[in-house]
């Protein structure tokens, strides 16, 4: 059985927090068994661990799902007054925790708090006979949090104390999907809050800005958003979006209204073969944002002289963006729950380092052209 104890480490002097990539991303959902099953059957994830009352985690059910280097944790509550249940009541199913690997969770926590982060949980240790995890938590946008995870003294093959690798749900039938890694994690923040949150990541965590798109760049006649991409300079890449004025409600504003506040909009998962991945996911029953045929007419002209399997891309609904350094192939799933909130992006990079910003405008405009044809615009 694991135990919990408070750390007594003295605060470290303020210094940039050294992160070593994603540890895991945790969803808080209404029914972890069903949500985990959906990620397994539709997206090809494998259940690698489970925690619940029978393993020393009272009041919750929690599944660890892995594919490539991607690690998701899907957790639900078993009582209505549990914080997870209250979170789900307010937000619906969503991403609650963006956890990072560090060498020293206490040092990371104290440095971040000293630089202005709101502390959620002071450093603590979880351990069982497989070793110890050192953890600490700070708040970010909305009710989302970052957990600092030090695995230096943890020898277990699984996520954490309380998690077992016994008797896991079997893998559903389906072709292999081939998702490799987390590419980027996108947050939506309220109108007027983008600058504040960009500064948060710069000041508190020492992140830099990779790109900024203002509402002139990601705008159609009807919908607009502003976006800034912050990064630790390595694996962690986090675009932040803010709604902007258009003739209709920005899709970012729709998210904020529906999720009831800021939160994670999409998780981009990278593959080396987007055609095979999307073919497999479609065969497994995943549905994607539909792309009007009109999009491909303009895309072929926009992308120009690049050898691409256009017919396959169009059949599968994969979007294409051209950058100076290469091409980016991407597709967006339908939202993962009934609320129009979090969804996945599947992305293949052929030399391109961007985020498909050329696509947003082209896709929205193509959708609006189809709406106009139906007389619904």
Residue 236 sits at φ, ψ, to 5 deg, of -90, 115
The H helix count followed by the E strand count for the chain is 9, 17
The piece of 111-119, 171-179, 267-275, 304-312 that touches Fe ion (CB under 5 A) is 267-275
Strands 22-28 and 94-101: antiparallel
Cβ distance to Fe ion smaller for residue 313 or 347: 347
The piece of 47-55, 160-168, 277-285, 338-346 that touches Fe ion (CB under 5 A) is 338-346
Cβ distance to Fe ion smaller for residue 64 or 262: 262
Binding string, residues 224-263; x marks residues near Fe ion by CB under 5 A: ----------------------------------------
Cβ distance to Fe ion smaller for residue 268 or 362: 268
Binding string, residues 290-329; x marks residues near Fe ion by CB under 5 A: ----------------------------------------
Closest separation in Å from C-beta 249 to Fe ion: 21
Cβ distance to Fe ion smaller for residue 268 or 329: 268
- Options 32, 107, 264, 268; binder of Fe ion; rule CB under 5 A: 268
The piece of 147-155, 257-265, 287-295, 343-351 that touches Fe ion (CB under 5 A) is 343-351
287 Cβ contact list (under 8 Å, min separation 6): 333, 334
Cβ distance to Fe ion smaller for residue 51 or 224: 224
Task: For residue 345, state whether it binds Fe ion (rule: CB under 5 A).
Answer: yes
Closest separation in Å from C-beta 345 to Fe ion: 5
Task: For residue 264, state whether it binds Fe ion (rule: CB under 5 A).
Answer: no
Closest separation in Å from C-beta 359 to Fe ion: 9
Q: How far apart are CA 283 and CA 312, in angstroms?
A: 15
DSSP-derived secondary structure for 5-68:
EE--PPPPPP------SEEEEEEE-S-HHHHHHHHHHHH--EEEEEESGGGT-TTEEEEEEEET
Structure tokens given for 113: 């708090």
For 106, counting Cβ atoms within 10 Å of its Cβ (0-12 exposed, 13-18 middle, 19+ buried), the class is buried
Closest separation in Å from C-beta 185 to Fe ion: 9
Closest separation in Å from C-beta 295 to Fe ion: 17
DSSP-derived secondary structure for 65-87:
EEETTEEEEEEEESSTTSHHHHH
How far apart, in Å, are the Cα atoms of 80 and each of 55, 120, 262?
21, 22, 23
Strands 263-271 and 343-350: parallel
Task: For residue 183, state whether it binds Fe ion (rule: CB under 5 A).
Answer: no
Binding site for Fe ion (CB under 5 A): 268, 345
């Amino acid at each position: 059985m694991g135990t919990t104890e408070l750390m007594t480490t003295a605060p470290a002097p303020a210094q940039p927090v050294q992160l070593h990539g994603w540890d895991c991303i945790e969803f808080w959902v209404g029914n972890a068994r069903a949500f985990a099953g959906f990620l397994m059957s539709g997206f090809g994830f494998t259940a690698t661990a489970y925690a619940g009352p029978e393993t020393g985690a009272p009041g919750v059910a929690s599944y660890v799902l892995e594919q490539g280097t991607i690690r998701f944790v899907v957790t639900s509550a078993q009582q209505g007054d549990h914080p997870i249940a209250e979170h789900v009541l307010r937000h619906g199913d969503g991403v609650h925790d963006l956890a990072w690997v560090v060498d020293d969770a206490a040092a990371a926590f104290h440095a971040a708090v000293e630089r202005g982060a709101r502390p959620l949980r002071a450093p603590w240790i979880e351990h069982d006979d497989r070793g110890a995890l050192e953890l600490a938590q700070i708040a970010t946008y909305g009710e989302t949090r970052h957990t600092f995870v030090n695995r230096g003294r943890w020898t277990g093959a699984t996520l954490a104390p309380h998690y077992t690798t016994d008797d896991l749900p079997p893998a559903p039938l389906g072709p292999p999907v081939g998702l490799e890694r987390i590419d980027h994690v996108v947050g939506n923040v309220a109108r007027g809050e983008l600058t504040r949150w960009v500064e948060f990541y710069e000041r508190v965590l020492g992140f830099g800005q990779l790109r900024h798109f203002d509402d002139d760049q990601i705008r159609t006649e009807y919908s607009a958003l502003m976006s800034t991409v912050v990064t630790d300079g390595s694996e962690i890449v986090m675009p932040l979006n803010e709604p902007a004025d258009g003739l209709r409600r920005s899709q970012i504003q729709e998210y904020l209204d529906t999720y009831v506040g800021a939160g994670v909009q999409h998780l981009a998962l990278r593959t080396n073969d987007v055609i095979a991945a999307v073919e497999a996911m479609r065969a497994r029953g995943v549905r994607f944002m539909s792309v009007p045929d009109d999009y491909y007419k303009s895309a072929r002209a926009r992308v120009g002289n690049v050898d691409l399997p256009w017919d396959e891309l169009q059949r599968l609904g994969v979007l294409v963006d051209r950058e100076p350094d290469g091409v980016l192939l991407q597709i967006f799933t339908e939202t993962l729950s009934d609320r129009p909130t979090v969804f996945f992006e599947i992305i293949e990079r052929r030399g391109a380092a961007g985020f498909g910003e050329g696509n947003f405008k082209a896709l929205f405009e193509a959708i609006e052209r189809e709406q106009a044809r139906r007389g619904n615009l």
